[in-house]
Amino acid sequence: MRRTLITLGVIALLLIAGVGAYVLGVGPLAPPTAARSVVFVAISRSADEADAHEIESIDLAAGTRDLFDVGDRVTALALSADRRSLYVALDGGKIVLLDATTGSRFGAVDLGGPTVVSLAATADGRTLFAVAVTNVSSSVVPIDLSTKKAADPISFTAPAGPAIIRGDALIVPLGDPRGLQVVFIDVNTRAVTSRLTLPRGSLVPPAAFPISGARTGIVAFDSGLGGGVGLRVYTLTDSSHWSDVSLQAPFPQGPIRQIGIGLQAAATADGTIHVCTTAGTAARRYVVGTDQKSASVGTDCGPLTGGDQILMATRDPAQLRVLDDKTGKTVRTLPLAGVPARVVH
């Protein structure tokens, strides 16, 4: 009997240790990670990119592909720092948590509110911040990833664009016709620690993106130039210091009721910025060097992601392009199974 109890005790300890290792992400039982060469693209099977229900996982090195059907329209994507989890925002304020290697769902959170346009996870994997917007307001919702519970939202009286985490700060850009607002939120205390007002306003929400080092980029339409056809790229070194570059945005083309506005930006490891914008059927793409000098490199645009390399997903034809860091020229193309809506790498 005693030997039986000892054996059962050892088995129980091993099971507890195994579960703990899996949850903490350590040891041989930890969930696998997606390789650095894997990129995730939300795709639509129709001509409308907003109808993206699937995520195509492409390994740029191995050439392998997988498809995950998430069951509803994808509005935002984010990848955990350890590349084990893929966070997907869906229509109606729903967020699903997926295994990044298999696409299997292991959790979900229903915010039951406005559209989630941005997701950002802390480096320790404990908290996911969701940015939800309406036409006139926005909120940042912290989500505890261990309990899958949402905390009280942090509300703003202006629409927000995509937010990012830099160090211990969640950086949220807000669209305001009087001047762009950039809000800094402590990811631990969830308190607003500072605000930065940039001189040019815009009715279209700006977008934040990471640059090398501790710098943050903000790309926005400039309502002070020719009725909104200007484009401005800000580089923030901290919550009070910045520089900017002014670019020419495309003049809107297409039926007035169907003109959509789009902003995309990403940076390379050395700080070179790639930015593109659309206005209806018109598009322009630029490269801004580390010396802040800009060059027009194309009249195409699509979802961008940066870091190790610059990737751009385009709809016509539907493909993923690997761009040269310095020139913005296409160095490699890979076909996509549908029209791209979001990309994360």
Task: Output the pLDDT for position 37.
Answer: 95
- Count each helix (H run) and each strand (E run) in the chain, helices first: 1, 29
Task: Output the pLDDT for position 260.
Answer: 61
Domain ranges of the chain: 158-301
Q: Which of 3-12, 232-241, 280-289 has the lowest mean pLDDT?
A: 3-12
Q: Please check the confidence at residue 18 and state whether its pLDDT lies above 80.
A: no
| Two tokens, residue 274 | 């790639």
Query: For the residues 82-109, what does the mean pLDDT come to?
Result: 97
For residue 159, give the nearest of 181, 190, 128, 192 by alpha carbon: 181
Per residue in 226-247, pLDDT tens? 444 688 999 999 989 999 999 9
| Residue whose token pair is 């699937």 | 54
Q: How many Cβ atoms are within 10 Å of 2's Cβ, its own excluded?
A: 6
Using CA atoms of 105, 110, 116, 120 in order, give the dihedral in degrees to the nearest 10: -60
At 223, is the pLDDT very low, low, confident or very high (cuts 50, 70, 90)? Answer: low
Query: For the residues 307-317, what does the mean pLDDT come to?
Result: 94
Question: CATH for 158-301, among 3.40.630.40, 1.10.8.60, 2.130.10.10, 2.10.25.10?
Answer: 2.130.10.10
Between CA 336 and CA 329 the distance in angstroms is: 19
Helix (H) or strand (E) run with residue 207 in it: strand 207-210
Rounded to a whole number of angstroms, the CA Rg of the chain reads 21
Opening angle at CA 63, ends 69 and 27, nearest 5: 75
Task: Output the pLDDT for position 281.
Answer: 82
Task: Output the pLDDT for position 172.
Answer: 98
317 upstream amide cis, omega within 30 of 0: yes
Task: Output the pLDDT for position 225.
Answer: 53
Q: Mean pLDDT, the chain, as a whole number?
A: 88
In sequence order, which residues have a C-beta less than 8 Å from that of residue 293 and are 6 or more positions away?
Answer: none
Whole-prediction pTM: 0.89
Q: Which of 21-35, 89-103, 173-187, 315-329 has the lowest mean pLDDT?
A: 21-35
Q: Which of 160-164, 200-204, 219-223, 230-234 has the lowest mean pLDDT?
A: 200-204
In sequence order, which residues have a C-beta less than 8 Å from that of residue 140 and are 6 or more positions away?
Answer: 129, 130, 131, 153, 154, 156, 160, 163, 170, 172, 185
Across the strands, what pairs with 319?
Answer: 314, 335
